[in-house]
Amino acid sequence: MPLTFFDANVAVGLPRNAGLFTPVETPDQLAAYLRDTRLSGALIWHWAQKESHVASGNGLLQPYLEAADEVYPCWAVLPPVTAEPTGLSGDVLEALPAALRLFPQEHRYLLRRPVWGDFLDAVSQRRVPVLLSLEHGASWDQVYNLLADFPDLTCVLCDVGVWSMDRYTYPLLDTYPNVALETGMLSITDGGVEGVVRRFGAGRLVFGTGIPSRCAEAAMLQLTHADIDDDDRRAIAADNMLRLLEGGAR
Amino acid sequence: MTDNATLAERFFRDGQLDDCPVYDLHGHMGALQGARLPRSTPEQMIAAMDRAGVRLTVFCHHDALFAPSIGNRINVEVVRAHPERFRAYCAVNPNYPDQVAADVAAFDDCRDVFVGFKFLADYFQVPITDERGEPAWEKANAEGLLVLLHTWGGSKYDGPELVRQCAQRYPDARILMGHSCHGDWPAAAALAAELPNVHCELTAVLDDRGAVDLFVRRAGSEKVVFGTDTPWFNHHYYIGALLGADMTDDDRRNILYRNARRLLGEE
């Protein structure tokens, strides 16, 4: 039976600087992408959340949520201490977000307790997944600092790098049980997915592609033929991320 | 599923295809300092090749490139232990010109092992045009051997303009632009389109969506060869990226095996 894939790492809208790739510019294009690649759904973020302002980007994300049944938003937030607008109505956590994204590099804040205080404690308690991309806005030092201060945070590390990153990721997986890796770039490393499954279990991986910068079929073919059990394959392909989203409120 | 199924449908179903073997023309082997490589022994690499239908890998062992004290003998040992699955590039490190001369002199004793030479100029910090590498270039030019270059956009050691100089100076050496002048994709496509002896190679290209589509559009799929940097990168990931790129299945067959067979003299 073909695998059902849910993509945890899709960027929508237009990036500031055009690349060779074709962006997922409109909600219709997102629907077409999901249909053409036979993805059941996606967790999406908008380029403008990172490159313009979280308020602009969050505002642009809403129309894409209607593209298909299983499309969920990653809302971007800023440290509460400056009380800036985020484009989200009311208290962010009371609105029960599906997932959050942080961009500490571009948005110039630290991932430390003095900056985030009670907010990330509440995010941890409500098990809202926080996505951090090593390609889009976070460094390994920042990730280590964040988890040292908020060890119970449900954290999905995306775009972990094209070379084997096991020396960075394994200590985190060893130390923090609520950390998971998105497979888009992990799957480039030969044996990378299999190594994590054998040592930490399939529950620590969620499938993603990095569309539109990367090609969906690449990560899909790797997971389809990875040297792991079929139950583990199915869990990684869709079930694990959907379970994490249930930790938030979708 | 019928024989009319697309390569994508068949690769997703079967993982490897007898009628579409894969030739990986950019491999390495062994551990290296910068990362843990889970499948870096010859036996582990052969198992990985079998999963994806990789018929042959042409490699240059990390120790041959990064440990001059070991040098090319490790390539010879591996290929002679696994002659059905591996061929090698003879590493050329111009920082040691006496060793270059010795390796070129010994090349004919290892024709069962080597298909050509490998330059890693950005790491050796010696331009590919440097006279200390000339013995290898002259040998490749005289005998139509492959030369796998590490190439990178903007590099003063192996950037596009230096590739052009080498290709014009040695027109019978068959040059594979490893990484296809990484990041300067239009320059790589232009070189492959213009110069008969220059080919794009796909290692570290296929995680940048759109690049291989550009090569095929501008240079033609006959000028693109498949490579993965194995044991760094996963074969299925790279095959999948080709399956998702904008080209025909005939183009994909050119890239996956036809061009390699021609360059290796198998056709």
A161-208 per-position pLDDT tens digit: 988 899 999 999 999 999 999 999 999 999 999 999 999 999 999 999
Chain CA centroid to CA B191, Å: 17
Q: For chain B, positions 221-240, list CB contacts with chain A under 8 A.
A: 228, 230-240
Asked if residue B227 is part of any domain, the answer here is yes
What is the total count of domains within chain B? Answer: 1
- Quick check: A249 pLDDT over 70? no
- Condensed to tens digits (0 to 9), the pLDDT of residues A58-108 reads 999 999 999 888 999 999 999 999 999 888 877 777 776 899 999 999 999
Backbone angles phi, psi at A39, to 5 degrees: -95, 140
Asked if residue B88 is part of any domain, the answer here is yes
- Quick check: B2 pLDDT over 50? no
- Condensed to tens digits (0 to 9), the pLDDT of residues B207-219 reads 899 999 999 999 9
Q: Which residues of B touch A165 (CB under 8 A)?
A: 35
Residues sharing a CB contact under 8 Å with residue A14, sequence separation 6 or more, in sequence order: A23, A25, A47
CB contact, 8 Å: B83 with chain A?
Answer: no
- The CA distance from A113 to the nearest CA of chain B, in Å, is 31
Asked if residue B1 is part of any domain, the answer here is no
Q: Which residues of B touch A2 (CB under 8 A)?
A: 12
- The C-alpha torsion from B130 through B136 and B142 to B145, rounded to 10°, is -120
- Condensed to tens digits (0 to 9), the pLDDT of residues A5-56 reads 999 999 999 999 988 899 999 999 999 999 999 899 999 999 999 999 999 9
> Which of A19, A212, A218 shows the shortest C-beta gap to B237?
A218
Spell out the long-range contacts of A30-35 with Cβ–Cβ below 8 A and sequence spacing 24 or more: A30/A64, A30/A67, A30/A68, A30/A71, A31/A67, A31/A68, A33/A211, A33/A216, A34/A7, A34/A67, A34/A68, A34/A71, A35/A68
Per-residue pLDDT, A31: 97
Per-residue pLDDT, B3: 59
Strands laid side by side in the B224-225 sheet: B22-27, B54-59, B86-92, B114-119, B146-152, B174-182, B198-201, B224-225
Q: Are A31 and A225 in contact (CB under 8 A)?
A: no
Q: Are B211 and B184 in contact (CB under 8 A)?
A: no
Helix, strand, or coil here: B18?
coil
Q: Which value, in Å, is the radius of gyration of the alpha carbons in chain A?
A: 17
Backbone angles phi, psi at B105, to 5 degrees: -65, -35
> Which of A190, A211, A216 shows the shortest C-beta gap to B234?
A190
Flag if B12 and A188 touch (Cβ within 8 Å): no
> Which of A185, A218, A227 shows the shortest C-beta gap to B206?
A218
Asked if residue B130 is part of any domain, the answer here is yes
Residue with tokens 């809302």: A75
User: Which one, of A129, A16, A17, lies nearest residue A73 by Cα?
Assistant: A129
Q: Where are the alpha helices (DSSP H) in chain B?
A: 7-14, 42-52, 62-66, 73-81, 97-106, 121-124, 134-143, 160-169, 185-194, 211-219, 235-244, 249-253, 259-263
Quickly count: other Cβ atoms within 10 Å of residue B36's Cβ: 17
- Quick check: A250 pLDDT over 60? no
Per-residue pLDDT, B66: 97
- Quick check: B34 pLDDT over 50? yes
* CATH number, domain with residue B130: 3.20.20.140
User: Which one, of B27, B84, B92, lies nearest residue B61 by Cα?
Assistant: B27
| B37, closest residue in chain A (CA to CA) | A164
User: Which one, of B245, B166, B227, lies nearest residue B198 by Cα?
Assistant: B166
- Condensed to tens digits (0 to 9), the pLDDT of residues A66-79 reads 988 899 999 999 99
Quickly count: other Cβ atoms within 10 Å of residue B30's Cβ: 21
Q: Residue A120's domain spans which residues?
A: 5-247
Q: ipTM of this model?
A: 0.96
Q: Which residues of A touch B8 (CB under 8 A)?
A: 217
* CATH number, domain with residue A144: 3.20.20.140
- Condensed to tens digits (0 to 9), the pLDDT of residues B139-166 reads 999 999 999 999 999 999 999 999 999 9
Confidence grade of residue A149 (pLDDT, cut at 50, 70, 90): very high
- The CA distance from A136 to the nearest CA of chain B, in Å, is 15
Structure tokens, A162: 């094209």
User: Which one, of A223, A243, A245, lies nearest residue A234 by Cα?
Assistant: A223
Confidence grade of residue B1 (pLDDT, cut at 50, 70, 90): very low
Q: Which residues of A touch B234 (CB under 8 A)?
A: 187-192, 222
User: Which of the residue ranges A47-51, A113-117, B203-207 would you say has the lowest mean pLDDT?
Assistant: B203-207
Flag if A219 and B240 touch (Cβ within 8 Å): yes
Flag if A164 and B236 touch (Cβ within 8 Å): no
Asked if residue B8 is part of any domain, the answer here is no
pTM as predicted: 0.96
Residue with tokens 């990367």: A214
Q: Which residues of A touch B51 (CB under 8 A)?
A: 225, 227
> Average pLDDT, stretch B7-28?
97
> Average pLDDT, stretch B183-195?
98
Confidence grade of residue A2 (pLDDT, cut at 50, 70, 90): confident
∠ CA A28-A10-B181, rounded to 5°: 110
Taking the C-alpha atoms of residue B26 and residue B4, their distance in angstroms, rounded to an integer, is: 31
Q: Residue B246's domain spans which residues?
A: 19-263
Q: Which value, in Å, is the radius of gyration of the alpha carbons in chain B?
A: 17
How many pairs of residues across A and B have Cβ atoms under 8 Å apart? Answer: 116
Best B11, B236, B249 member to test A by mutation, with max A CBs in 10 Å, is B236
> Which of B15, B210, B214 shows the shortest C-beta gap to A225?
B15
What is the total count of domains within chain A? Answer: 1
Residue with tokens 């054998």: A198
Q: Are B235 and A226 in contact (CB under 8 A)?
A: no
Flag if B51 and A227 touch (Cβ within 8 Å): yes
Per-residue pLDDT, A12: 98
Flag if A225 and B36 touch (Cβ within 8 Å): no
- Condensed to tens digits (0 to 9), the pLDDT of residues B43-96 reads 999 999 999 999 999 999 999 999 999 999 999 999 999 999 999 999 999 999
> Which of A185, A190, A217 shows the shortest C-beta gap to B240?
A217
- The CA distance from A158 to the nearest CA of chain B, in Å, is 15
Q: Which residues of A touch B189 (CB under 8 A)?
A: none
